[in-house]
Chain A
Amino acid sequence: MKNLLYEEPLVEGSKTYADVNNDVCKPLESFPTKLWLGAFGIANLIMFMGFGMIGYMIYEGAGMSGIRSPVGWGMMIITFVFWIGIGHAGTLISAILFLFKQKWRTGINRSAEAMTIFAVMCAGIFPLIHTGRPWYSAYWLFPYPNQMGPLWVNFRSPLLWDVVAVSTYFTISLVFWYTGLVPDFASVRDRAKNFFRKKIYGLLSLGWRGSSKAWSHYEIAYMILAGLSTPLVLSVHTIVSFDFAVSIVPGWHTTIFPPYFVAGAIFSGFAMVVTLLVVAREVFNLKDYITLGHLEAMNKIILATGMLVGLAYATEFFVAWYSGVSYERFIFIQRAMGPYAWSYWIMVGCNVLTPQFFWFKSLRRNIPLMFVLSLFVNVGMWFERFVIVVTSLATDYLPSSWNYFRLSWWDTATLIGSFGMFFSLFLLFCRFVPTIAMAEVKAVIPTKGSEHHG
């Protein structure tokens, strides 16, 4: 008979504490493999191509992008929302799952948090460069004391809320991530034989000695930060959704946007974590730490949030009809049947149909399948933002102004470039930072007798 009380071990392969350190620190302490070098080279190339594109646009003008009247926002805002969404899994895993004492988070939280930070960095670029004059928007959007009156920002504008929300989110995520890293940096420092390595990691570990008092402070700090980040998981994408929901554009002006955006963000974030970890555990040989159990748990969340997103799509349609507003109805009919129907059905296919595979346990634990499906979800979530941003603007109130939006080659190149940046940062992270929270993992290593503990 199956043991119903059996709990899958969170770390496999009967690891000792020393094994954990050895396994996790190995990529940091050995010469980079050809695979890493190759991947990093390509990612870098793409990243600098992206930077080149951005520079070209700042030199030439915002018209390099495919945006046009009346579609004032295009690839850049779509991709901004996309990356912010990706960033959500990290905070969710590190903060909410921590508070709920979900121990399975320990194997993946480090890389998920790293991913969050990199995703928010990628996201942060886009609202800046999408403005007509980035050299001013870089600081005019902040309420700083000035001699122009003083001239303040418009606190009623959702874009300003955005600036605050995203920068807060980035700061908290970074501090949270770094706090978690301090003991692990100390471990790396203690293992270091090289002088410079010792100095650098010594500096990074902020003089961590591992005294029990320090541990106790550390845990309180970590708990507080988790508490601070938790509302951010909900607030950031809520505020991003206000960019749309507060406007009067049909298809944007809906109250469902905050929960809908948050669900979508977690959905896409988890998909991105799966994409990255499936590769990372293979490449850096971390299968014992990032187990199938971890991946399965994430797939369950993907399934749940995917269903939420699907529900949101259906609700939007219902409300558009129920509201009786002809413009609203029109937009939704256009989305499904109009000139952008292709993007709508990509979105529905990728976001609603794809996760349905995860109803089956065998498929939830099928590495190649989940990899492919997670990619689909990422594509689908980009298109979700495309559908929201573009279709509403393209066919709003006055038919005389309607126009069809197309991405320009610049848009495509810059979008790809942002992925180059994301992967470059992630690869650097894999090389220089312990990818598994060693200190936390050690706490969940199965010890003798612990199988029957639960």
Chain B
Amino acid sequence: MSVDLIEQLDILRRSEEAAVTTEPRKLWQSIDELGADFNSLKAVRGQELAVQQEEAGPTTMDLSRRKFLQFSAAASALVATTACTRRPVDHLVPYVKKPEGLTYGVPMWYATTASNGFGVLVKTMAGKPIKLEGNPDHPVNQGGLDAATQASLFDLYNPERLKTPIEVKSGKSIQWAEVDAAVKAATSEAQVESVRVLTGPVVSPSTTTSMNSFLSSSKGTWHKTQDLPDDPIAEAINLVSGQKSIPTFRFEKADVVVSVDADFLGTWIRPLEFTKSFSKRRKLHRGDANVNRLYVFESLHSLTGIAADHRMSIKPSQQLGIILAIGSEVSKSRSADAGASSFFTKYSAEKLSAELGFSLDLVKRAAADLSAARGKSLVVAGGHGPHALELQIASLALNSILGNIGSTLDFESPMKTGMEQGNDFESLLSDMEAGKVSVLFIQGVNPVYSSANTRFKDALSKVKLVLSLSHELNETASLSTYALPESHYLEAWGDSEIREGHVSIQQPVIEPLYNTRSLAEVVEAWDGRTGNYRDIVSSRWQKIYSRGDFRSWWMDQLKTGAHSTGSSRKTPAFRWAAVTPAFEKLNLQKSSGLELVLYSSVGLGDGSRANNPYLQELPDPVTKVTWDNFAGISPVLAAKMGLNRSHYSDETPNILASDFASDVVEVSVNGKSVKLPVFVQPGLDENVVAIALGYGRKVAGSLGTDRGQDANLFAVRNSSNKLQLRGQSATIKKTSDRYELACTQKQFGLQGRDSDILHTYTLKEFEKTQGDHGHGKYHIHPTFSIYDSKEFVYPGHKWGMAVDLNSCTGCNACVVACYTENNVSTVGPDQIAKGRHQAWLRLDLYHSGDAANPDSTFEPMMCQHCDLAPCETVCPVLATVHSTDGLNDMSYNRCVGTRYCANNCPYKVRRFNWFQYSDKLGYQVEKTDPLPMLINPDVSVRTRGVMEKCTFCVQRIRSETSDRMTRVKDGSIKTACQQSCPADAIVFGDLNDPESEVSQLAKVTTGFKVLEILNTKPNVTYLPRVRNKESSV
């Protein structure tokens, strides 16, 4: 057939079809078409002769014999190939008998007590504790919980825990029975006083009873020490009153607080308790106009210094001088206690300031404010300086003059630190050296690490049987005869009393994971008693409660976790004459040259928590350094010595260094030296070099060993034989080494962006602004949108947050709460140094003003859940979208990781999983069993390559709003950060509920949104920091 013919035929056919279309004439091509409807006809045209298929039903397949064989071949090939890998055997073990009241996926909460005595609520999922929160019913912490206690949950699941008793020399695992037999043999042949027990503070009355019983039967002695001792407050009080107790500091009652080197919001005695009570007087934005005023004189830049309204950097040698100068000024005007004021009358502030070289301005202002607030002020001092004991006596005297005894210093329900009883460490040491000790049982302390010298280590070899009870192998345990595994406080029965008259129960929430015993169980066993320790605890509590049905009362106690019995203590009388001679001998001299400041860090404390990745990774609140300690020096000293000053930059144009490696210096004290990288930080006196303790552990598991340098060797004894950590004369020498510290914030200056980022006021400015409806110090540029603002309304809830910067102390509790609640990974120092930390919530810190005494302010920064979120529009795969209740949601399984959202987020709160961080601790140590039990099953564990960020704890919101029928009651949903905050600085709730606290706070005229100018419409309102600066003189 020629081409032309085909074409002609085609034309013919088309014209025919056209004719049919325009004019449905009765043309028919086959007999079937005759009389048929045209449209149905068109569908079958051309297929008239085809074999008609059966109409395919929805479930039948169009399958020929060939196709079937092809499919079966492919399927068998697939089966054969996939069957090549053997899947690991895994067992799902259901409850054979399900515990009553337990529903899968619904957490159970228990009230118990942490080893430090604070009340905690434990969230358990399927019987596994996964989160610790503060117990609101506990009288001391009242709901907040500090970073370290929250992180202690990790210790329960730490794979490096001691799992059975170990004979250290052979490294052999043994049974408890062998240990018990060895102890029995040794104690029975031991002479009187040759059995010794060395523990840390013991706050448990039951344990104390058990221990005393063991010691009386074994004719032993109990010694107590602390790796990082508290200041000698108890001794000072003992000297003047004969009563060895530390009063409860009632910060909530104090209008004026003066602190001399006592970092009571960070590390001093019990910061959680003090933060709670102190912050009650910082609720300016919540209707409480009666805010307190805090003066801080400190040798370290601490959290307390940052919270201060007036702050002065001092040298440790000036501590006592400051207190005496304030005292002499105060005693000029009035005195409630003539005996105490006799201390100060012989001093003159002018003379002291000239002799010791401190400026008088702030001293006089503090003195004036204190005098004006008699009975409503509080003076605290600490810092282990050269005159630690005298400092405590003087500050007690000052409080006495001010009439604070009995009001802000509460002796009627004093603190119980667990150090009240017991002999001291020195006597044990000399007895050991003299060979008088045959059995030594150590728990809770690690003197081999924390001693400044090797005396204890050497003396250990003279003891026949050394037993060490600890969670992990540490320096002391590794030199013992037997290293015994200690139960976690969540595995054991006990109780505690950290304020006299307030007892709380420690109930286990999980069976011991390993063959472990608590301290009480150990001594009970050695005393010949076996059985459940619960009975011992409850029998002791039965004595407290003698009315009616004990059992139902006891169950109630287990629910609330705490009970107040009341205290019969009386405020003691002070005999100042007893200590006056000591002051006469006092020789206060101006020191020249550098002075050392040793301090405990907020994260690691005394070093016992060194193997905890949450705490290693927790940025030091003031310097933001993680995983290491360093020699902190002032910018002035750094410039003088030509040391790298990259970490501190003020408002100068040199905004950001390109090199973050620090110079390494050799710090020498008394002929001993340590090499440390420098960190240049504002807020230090020019002549101070500050080093954190708790680092440089030698036996502390895979994360804690050899991190940083051990500075314990610099500790000395001062003239009154008290431990001195500050004020030693030091020298530093630059070396040619460089070291990069892993720092989560590298720029601490606001670059003049205050209006947009962070509002701070003095009280006077603030009151003026308030009166002026928010117009005052800061000018916010009005923003508008070209789109209809009613584009989307939130019909139900609309979640929002308010952060009270005036309450926030920067204690880091929220950061750890967020890590544990949301399964945030720790990434280790190398990744942090690169800028890859994963914290969903971070505490930005900005300094302004004078480098020696900066005004520093914390600004917690988390996802702002913007209404017009810039991250949402740029994600190409819709992995981050807005929810109908105003949340910026993140779907991890959709995220491909373009990081565009992070680039476009002005708040830089989005965190990317650069590697498979969730598999490892600190991206160093593979997570092994039982660590997966720590994971919160309500929150996805993120895989590498996806973005993550704060979700406003969406899992908590969803579990409360699951029925979607009723409006959630304000306060019933608390985000993890909010729950843990001891200062109650974070408020979360429904912005659509006009009655909710957060919607009230969002309307505060002085509140601000960060970077409001960008029109992102954030849902987090910040309430400004207000410094109560004007002196009331």
Contact = CB atoms under 8 A, between A and B. Distances in A.
A337 interface: yes
Nearest to A397: B906
B658 A404 contact: yes
A158 B873 CA distance: 9
Contacts of B748: 399-400
A134 B912 CA distance: 15
B656 A395 contact: yes
A338 B656 contact: yes
Given A61-B914, A157-B874, A399-B751, A393 B903 contact: yes
B751 to A, nearest CB: 5
Nearest to A398: B908
B844 interface: yes
A160 interface: yes
Interface string A308-329: 0000000000000000001000
Given A69-B912, A338-B656, A400-B846, A131 B898 contact: yes
B944 A132 contact: yes
Interface string B822-845: 000000000100111100001011
Interface string B1000-1033: 0000000000110010100000000000000000
B749 interface: yes
Contacts of B904: 247-249
Interface stretch (A10-18, A147-155, A167-175): A147-155
A398 B746 CA distance: 11
B844 A151 contact: no
Q: What is the interface of chain A mostly: helix, strand, loop, or mixed?
A: loop
B899 A133 contact: no
Contacts of A397: 753, 756-757, 906-908, 1011, 1014
Interface string A277-301: 0000000000000000000000000
B945 A132 contact: yes
A130 interface: yes
A151 B894 CA distance: 10
Give the contact-size bracket for chain A: 35 or more
Interface stretch (A48-56, A136-144, A181-189, A411-419): A136-144
Interface in A52-85: 60-63, 66-73
Contact of B656 (A151, A159, A402): A402
Contacts of B753: 326, 397, 399
Contacts of A247: 870, 874, 900, 903-904
B895 interface: yes
Contacts of B946: 132-133
A235 interface: no
B446 to A, nearest CB: 36
Contacts of A60: 915
B875 interface: yes
Interface string B870-912: 1001111110000000000000001111111011101110011
Interface in B900-947: 900, 902-904, 906-908, 911-916, 943-947
Q: Which of A73, A243, A399 has the most CB of B within 10 A?
A: A399
Given A159-B874, A397-B1011, A404-B660, A132 B908 contact: no
B897 A132 contact: yes
B752 A326 contact: yes
Interface string A20-64: 000000000000000000000000000000000000000011110
Interface residues of B, number: 64
B747 A159 contact: no
Contact of A153 (B653, B842, B878, B912): B878
Nearest to B743: A403
A70 B835 contact: yes
A153 B1016 CA distance: 23
Nearest to B745: A400
Nearest to B751: A399
Contacts of A334: 655
Nearest to B1010: A398
A215 B837 CA distance: 64
A63 to B, nearest CB: 3
A400 B861 contact: yes
A306 B62 CA distance: 64
A113 interface: no
A163 interface: yes
B48 to A, nearest CB: 34
Interface string B935-975: 00000000111110000000000000000000000000000
Contacts of A66: 834
Contacts of B834: 63, 66, 68
A404 B835 CA distance: 9
B117 to A, nearest CB: 35
B75 interface: no
B878 A398 contact: no
Contacts of B842: 400
B639 interface: no
Contacts of B876: 141, 153-154, 157, 159-160, 163
Contacts of A153: 876-878
A151 B947 CA distance: 19
Given A397-B1011, A398-B861, A63 B908 contact: no
B900 A398 contact: no
A384 B963 CA distance: 55
A133 B908 contact: no
6 contacts: A61-B944, A73-B900, A133-B896, A394-B656, A397-B908, A398-B1010
Given A154-B878, A156-B874, A333-B653, 18 more contacts: A61-B945, A62-B897, A67-B899, A69-B908, A69-B912, A132-B947, A133-B945, A141-B877, A157-B874, A160-B876, A248-B870, A396-B906, A396-B908, A398-B861, A400-B745, A402-B747, A403-B746, A404-B660
Interface of A: 60-63, 66-73, 130-134, 136-137, 140-141, 151-154, 156-160, 163, 243, 246-249, 326, 330, 333-334, 337-340, 393-404
